[in-house]
Amino acid sequence: MAIIRRAQYGLPAVSPAAYIGSTRGVKVHYLGTAYSSRPHSQCAAYVRQIRESHLANEEEDYIDVAYNFLVCEHGGVFEGRGVHRRTGANGNAELNSRDYAVCALLGSSGLTEPTDAMLHGIRDAIEELREHGDAGDWIGGHRDGHATTCPGDPLYAWVRRGAPRPGKPAPSRPTAPAVQYAPFPGAAFFRDQPTSPLVTAMGRRLVAEGCGRYKVGPGPRWSEADRQSYAAWQRKLGYSGADADGWPGKTSWDRLRVPKTSK
């Protein structure tokens, strides 16, 4: 596997996108516009063009190219946001935190059928995200859980078969595990400054939402950094003043969706 790193094709070496610790899996995308086949020597310039169009999109307010990786028809895997970076492509903040995004340079017209080299490249990108970005086993299309035709019928049919490498039998397609969320433990739980796996799980969710204010951690013992991080989450939800004091309440907790932990 040869990943074409950002600096190798003219992007800043590190994406400014928010850190994310792990994901359920990977969603596959396509361009959704007309796209023509081209020599591999022109693919890097096209990926740069995609990034420029995303940065110019004032409505979406992207801070970088939306995808974690982009794959051309020749099998080239271009690093977009890369590993451990939240995508901007899946539809909303929750979906962007749940899965990484890999975009195939395929169109809704013109080049619409993935080549074998492209399918190998998508698998390479998925394996990079699993090995170095803690992506889970689930593979889906953009349309899974979001109202869109992306990644187009030909590519989605391959995804539905389990995204096998060309020439190999399709693997069984894992289903997304049902996530159980921790109920709100009550305000007194946090004011008593607990040491609990639940505090660590909360901190990881705050980091995934771009609200982490940690220099170290998060860890299992409630700290001032946890309170500051939670206050950032409250402000993200639209709270202000005393309503954004960093002490968790049931409404903001339920919206954070902290995974249930074992005691």
Any domain includes 263:
no
* pLDDT over threshold 90, residue 180: no
Provide the whole-model pTM. Answer: 0.65
Distance from C-alpha of 33 to C-alpha of 179, rounded to nearest angstrom:
34
* pLDDT over threshold 60, residue 258: yes
pLDDT tens sequence across 25-72: 999 999 999 999 999 999 999 999 999 999 999 988 999 999 999 999
Q: Is 216 found in the same domain as 148?
A: no
In this predicted structure, what is the pLDDT of residue 169?
60
* pLDDT over threshold 90, residue 4: yes
Distance from C-alpha of 28 to C-alpha of 129, rounded to nearest angstrom:
13
Any domain includes 87:
yes
The count of domains in the chain is 2
Any domain includes 145:
yes
Burial class (CB in 10 A: 0-12, 13-18, 19+), 61: exposed
234, 191, 183: which is closest to 211 by C-alpha? Answer: 234
Per-residue DSSP letter, 215: S
Distance from C-alpha of 111 to C-alpha of 133, rounded to nearest angstrom:
30
CATH number for the domain harbouring residue 82: 3.40.80.10
Integer-rounded Cα Rg, in Å, for the chain is: 20
Q: Is 26 found in the same domain as 145?
A: yes
Per-residue DSSP letter, 76: -
Q: Is 225 found in the same domain as 144?
A: no
pLDDT tens sequence across 231-242: 999 999 999 999
Q: What percent of the chain has pLDDT over 70?
A: 94
In this predicted structure, what is the pLDDT of residue 2?
78
Q: How far is CA 51 from CA 16, 34, 171, in A?
A: 13, 17, 33
Q: Is 217 found in the same domain as 130?
A: no
Distance from C-alpha of 67 to C-alpha of 27, rounded to nearest angstrom:
10
Range of 193's domain? 187-256
102, 112, 33: which is closest to 65 by C-alpha? Answer: 102
In this predicted structure, what is the pLDDT of residue 234?
92
Q: Is 124 found in the same domain as 12?
A: yes
Buried b (16+ CB within 10 A) or exposed e, 246-261: bebbeebbeebebeee
147, 34, 49, 165: which is closest to 95 by C-alpha? Answer: 147
Of 145, 160, 175, which marks where a domain is finished?
160
